[in-house]
Amino acid sequence: MRTKSLQEYRKKQLADPEVKAAYEALEDEYALAQAIIQARIKRGLTQEELAKRMGTTQSVIARLESGKTLPSSRTLLRVAEATGTHFRAQFVAD
Protein backbone atom coordinates (compact mmCIF):
# COMPACT_ATOMS: atom_id res chain seq x y z
CA MET A 1 0.00 0.00 0.00
CA ARG A 2 1.41 3.36 -1.04
CA THR A 3 0.76 6.48 0.97
CA LYS A 4 0.22 9.71 -0.91
CA SER A 5 2.52 12.59 -0.33
CA LEU A 6 1.05 15.86 0.86
CA GLN A 7 1.81 17.42 -2.54
CA GLU A 8 -0.04 14.66 -4.39
CA TYR A 9 -3.02 15.01 -2.09
CA ARG A 10 -3.02 18.80 -2.46
CA LYS A 11 -2.80 18.58 -6.25
CA LYS A 12 -5.73 16.16 -6.39
CA GLN A 13 -7.86 18.29 -4.05
CA LEU A 14 -7.10 21.51 -5.95
CA ALA A 15 -8.26 19.90 -9.18
CA ASP A 16 -11.79 20.38 -7.82
CA PRO A 17 -12.86 23.95 -8.78
CA GLU A 18 -14.83 24.46 -5.55
CA VAL A 19 -11.92 23.36 -3.37
CA LYS A 20 -9.53 25.52 -5.39
CA ALA A 21 -11.77 28.60 -5.01
CA ALA A 22 -12.04 28.08 -1.24
CA TYR A 23 -8.27 27.56 -0.97
CA GLU A 24 -7.52 30.71 -2.94
CA ALA A 25 -9.99 32.72 -0.86
CA LEU A 26 -7.95 31.91 2.26
CA GLU A 27 -4.51 32.29 0.67
CA ASP A 28 -3.80 35.75 2.12
CA GLU A 29 -4.81 34.69 5.63
CA TYR A 30 -2.52 31.66 5.49
CA ALA A 31 0.31 33.81 4.12
CA LEU A 32 -0.10 36.12 7.12
CA ALA A 33 -0.01 33.15 9.50
CA GLN A 34 3.12 31.86 7.74
CA ALA A 35 4.79 35.27 8.14
CA ILE A 36 4.13 35.18 11.90
CA ILE A 37 5.60 31.67 12.12
CA GLN A 38 8.69 32.69 10.15
CA ALA A 39 9.29 35.79 12.30
CA ARG A 40 9.08 33.65 15.43
CA ILE A 41 11.33 30.91 14.09
CA LYS A 42 13.97 33.35 12.82
CA ARG A 43 14.25 34.66 16.37
CA GLY A 44 14.51 31.12 17.72
CA LEU A 45 11.39 31.56 19.84
CA THR A 46 8.84 28.98 20.88
CA GLN A 47 5.18 29.90 20.83
CA GLU A 48 5.32 30.19 24.60
CA GLU A 49 8.30 32.55 24.50
CA LEU A 50 6.66 34.75 21.89
CA ALA A 51 3.46 34.80 23.94
CA LYS A 52 5.38 35.88 27.03
CA ARG A 53 7.06 38.71 25.12
CA MET A 54 3.66 39.83 23.84
CA GLY A 55 1.92 39.53 27.21
CA THR A 56 -0.48 36.86 26.02
CA THR A 57 -0.81 33.07 26.10
CA GLN A 58 0.66 30.30 23.97
CA SER A 59 -2.82 29.31 22.82
CA VAL A 60 -3.33 32.78 21.32
CA ILE A 61 -0.10 32.38 19.34
CA ALA A 62 -1.18 28.91 18.20
CA ARG A 63 -4.47 30.33 16.92
CA LEU A 64 -2.65 33.12 15.06
CA GLU A 65 -0.27 30.62 13.49
CA SER A 66 -3.08 28.27 12.47
CA GLY A 67 -4.51 30.89 10.13
CA LYS A 68 -7.94 30.47 11.73
CA THR A 69 -7.74 33.78 13.56
CA LEU A 70 -7.24 36.99 11.62
CA PRO A 71 -5.07 39.26 13.78
CA SER A 72 -5.69 42.96 14.22
CA SER A 73 -3.07 45.43 13.05
CA ARG A 74 -2.31 46.09 16.74
CA THR A 75 -1.56 42.40 17.28
CA LEU A 76 0.68 42.33 14.21
CA LEU A 77 2.59 45.31 15.56
CA ARG A 78 3.02 43.47 18.89
CA VAL A 79 4.34 40.40 17.04
CA ALA A 80 6.81 42.63 15.21
CA GLU A 81 8.01 44.25 18.43
CA ALA A 82 8.32 40.88 20.19
CA THR A 83 10.33 39.39 17.31
CA GLY A 84 12.50 42.44 16.65
CA THR A 85 11.01 42.93 13.20
CA HIS A 86 8.93 45.60 11.47
CA PHE A 87 5.39 45.05 10.25
CA ARG A 88 4.69 46.44 6.81
CA ALA A 89 1.25 46.21 5.20
CA GLN A 90 0.98 46.69 1.48
CA PHE A 91 -1.56 46.23 -1.25
CA VAL A 92 -0.36 44.42 -4.36
CA ALA A 93 -2.15 44.38 -7.70
CA ASP A 94 -3.06 40.93 -8.99
What pLDDT is stored for residue 1 in this prediction?
Answer: 56
User: What's the mean pLDDT in 72-92?
Assistant: 95
- Quick check: 94 pLDDT over 90? no
> Which band of pLDDT confidence, cut at 50, 70 and 90, is reported for residue 2?
low
pLDDT in tens, 26-54: 888 999 999 999 999 999 999 999 999 99
User: What's the mean pLDDT in 10-22?
Assistant: 92
- Quick check: 61 pLDDT over 80? yes
- Quick check: 86 pLDDT over 80? yes
Is CATH 1.50.10.10 what the domain over 6-83 is classified as, yes or no? no
What pLDDT is stored for residue 59 in this prediction?
Answer: 96
Buried b / exposed e along 36-51 (16+ C-beta atoms within 10 A):
bbebbeeeebebeebb
Number of H helices, E strands in the chain: 6, 0
Mean pLDDT for the chain overall: 92
